[in-house]
Chain A
C-alpha cells in the first residue's frame, strides 16, 4: 500500500516537501501529487500544482497546510474528488510501497533567519487504519536550554474525522501526570513544550491516536528536527508487542487513576 506525506508550519516555522518521482526499482510514469483534507466527514482531494524537475516534486510552504496530506497517484486511480475513507484510492496504488527502504520524502523545516533541518519522512498507510497509543521520551531530542522547544504530533487516520484525543506528559518513574494537551485527528498538532518539562523520565503518551512525534528544538536560530521511534523498535524478538503492551498498560493505569477519576 501507499505512503502518505505531510508538512507542518506555524508563525515562525515554514516547511518544504521534496517528493521523489522514483523508487529504487522504477521511475514513475503518470503520477501527480495530490492533497487530501478532511471536511464534513469526507476526504476532499485536489491535484497539487507545485514545482517539479525531472526527479522531484517540490511542495513549497504556501501549498502546505497542517490539515492536509499529500501523496502520489495516477489520475486513473483518482475516480472522485471526495471519499469517505482513504482505503478506496490507497488500495490501487503501490508505487510508494517499497522495500528494503521505505518510500520517503524530504520534509525540511526552516526559519526566516536561515536555520533549517530535515528528515526523510513518510506516514505508512498501515498506520492510518489503526488507533492506539504512542509513548515517547521528551528529553532525548529536545534541549532544556534551547530558545524554543516544540513537538508536532502528526496523526493520519483513514476516516476523515477531526476527533480530539489527549497527549499526556507523564513522569514514568514517579507515575505523575505533569500536563495534558488536546490533539486532533488528521492534523499536524503543535505542542509548545515548557523547558521545565524537559526532564529525564518524562514521556508523552497519546491515549487514543497513533501518530509520529516530531521534535523541534531551536537555539540561536539553529534548528534540530527529528522523530523518535516507537517503543517496539527497541525489541527485535517475537515478544516485542507483548512487552511494549505491558509498559503501555502501566501508563494507562497511571492515567486512569489520576486523571480520569
Chain B
C-alpha cells in the first residue's frame, strides 16, 4: 500500500481529484535522491544572504568524502552559476553578497544537492537555514518548500515538484496580523506550471520556479489564492532600525 501511496502517479491523481492532496509530487519510492527546498537569496538594498547547512550524508550515514553543488537562479529562473563544495564539514556556511553575484543587486532562488557514491537507499532533503543580513544584523529562517530533486546517479535536475490542484484555487492566509507593519513577501512558484496568483486585491502571474517580492503596508490580513497547495512566502518585516525574517 505504501508503495502505491508514495508513487508520483497516485499523487497526481490525488491532486487532480482533490482527495488527500500531496504537497509534493516526488515519487517517494525512489532511492538515492537528493532533494532541495527553494531557498531565497537577495543582494538588493544592501542585503547579504548567509546559507548555513548540514552535510546530511555525513550526519546520517557517516560519509567521509561527501560533496554538494549549489545552483543559483535569478528571479526569472535564469541560471546564474553553480558552485561545488567538497570536503564538507558537518556544518557549513556560504555568503551570497553582490561580489559573489558578480555585482548583481537583485534576488532569486538557489538549490543544493548533496552527493554520495554509496547506495544509502534513501531520499534526503536539504531544508536548512538562510540568514538575511542587513548592516551586519542577521535574521535566520529555515527552508520552505521542496521544489527540486536530483538522482545521485545522473546529472539531470528536476524542478517544480510542488503540488498543485487542477481546478480549485487554494487559500493560504498568513496567520499573523500586519496592521501598522511594513512588510515584503517573497514568493516563489514551486510547481511546474505558470500560476495565477491573487494576493489580497492584486492579481499577477508567476512562471515555474520564478520568484517575486511584493510590498504591503498596514493591512490586517494577507490572503493568497492560487492553484499551488502551499504557496508559503518568506516575510521581511521592518520597524525603524530593525527587521525580521520568517516563513509565513
Does A pair with B?
A: yes
Task: Give the interface of A toward B (CB within 8 A).
Answer: 18, 20, 22, 24, 53-56, 58, 100-101, 103-106, 108, 114-120, 137, 139-141, 143, 172-173, 200-201, 215, 217, 219-229, 231, 233-240, 243-244, 247
In the complex, are the beta carbons of B90 and A237 less than 8 A apart? no
User: Which of chain A's residues have a CB closer than 8 A to the CB of B230?
Assistant: 100-101
User: Which of chain B's residues have a CB closer than 8 A to the CB of A247?
Assistant: 59-60
In the complex, are the beta carbons of B129 and A22 less than 8 A apart? no
- Residue A243 contacts which of B89, B122, B220 (CB distance < 8 angstroms)? B122
**How many whole Å from A222's CB to the nearest CB in chain B?**
4
In the complex, are the beta carbons of A55 and B220 less than 8 A apart? yes
User: Which of chain B's residues have a CB closer than 8 A to the CB of A115?
Assistant: 242
In the complex, are the beta carbons of A140 and B246 less than 8 A apart? no
Given contacts A219-B138, A220-B137, A236-B123, 16 further A-B contacts (CB under 8 A): A24-B170, A55-B177, A56-B177, A101-B232, A104-B175, A115-B242, A116-B242, A117-B244, A118-B244, A137-B91, A140-B52, A231-B59, A234-B54, A236-B26, A237-B28, A247-B59
User: Which of chain B's residues have a CB closer than 8 A to the CB of A240?
Assistant: 122
Q: Which residue of B lies closest to A228 (CB)?
A: B142
Q: Mark B127-164, 1 if CB is under 8 A from A, else 0.
A: 11101000011111110001000000000000000010
Judge whether B203 is part of the interface by a CB distance below 8 angstroms. Answer: no
User: Which of chain B's residues have a CB closer than 8 A to the CB of A237?
Assistant: 28, 31, 121-123
User: Which of chain B's residues have a CB closer than 8 A to the CB of A22?
Assistant: 173
Which of chain B's residues 230-248 have a Cβ closer than 8 Å to chain A? 230, 232, 237, 239-242, 244, 246-248
In the complex, are the beta carbons of A120 and B176 less than 8 A apart? yes
**How many whole Å from B50's CB to the nearest CB in chain A?**
10
Judge whether B221 is part of the interface by a CB distance below 8 angstroms. Answer: yes
Name 15 A/B residue pairs within 8 A (Cβ), A-sorted: A22-B173, A55-B177, A100-B229, A114-B240, A114-B241, A118-B244, A119-B247, A137-B90, A139-B91, A224-B131, A231-B59, A235-B60, A235-B124, A239-B121, A247-B59
- How far is B243's CA from A224's CA once the two chains are assembled, in angstroms? 9
In the complex, are the beta carbons of A18 and B173 less than 8 A apart? no
- How far is B229's CA from A112's CA once the two chains are assembled, in angstroms? 39
Given contacts A114-B242, A137-B54, contact A120 B248 (CB under 8 A): yes
User: Which of chain B's residues have a CB closer than 8 A to the CB of A221?
Assistant: 242
**How many whole Å from B74's CB to the nearest CB in chain A?**
26
Judge whether B172 is part of the interface by a CB distance below 8 angstroms. Answer: yes
In the complex, are the beta carbons of A100 and B60 less than 8 A apart? no
In the complex, are the beta carbons of A243 and B60 less than 8 A apart? yes
**How many whole Å from A112's CB to the nearest CB in chain B?**
12
**How many whole Å from A131's CB to the nearest CB in chain B?**
23
- Residue B140 contacts which of A224, A233, A236 (CB distance < 8 angstroms)? A224
**How many whole Å from B168's CB to the nearest CB in chain A?**
12
Q: Which residue of B lies closest to A56 (CB)?
A: B177
In the complex, are the beta carbons of B137 and A222 less than 8 A apart? yes
User: Which of chain B's residues have a CB closer than 8 A to the CB of A219?
Assistant: 136-138
User: Which of chain B's residues have a CB closer than 8 A to the CB of A58?
Assistant: 177
- Residue B129 contacts which of A24, A103, A141 (CB distance < 8 angstroms)? A141
Judge whether B8 is part of the interface by a CB distance below 8 angstroms. Answer: no
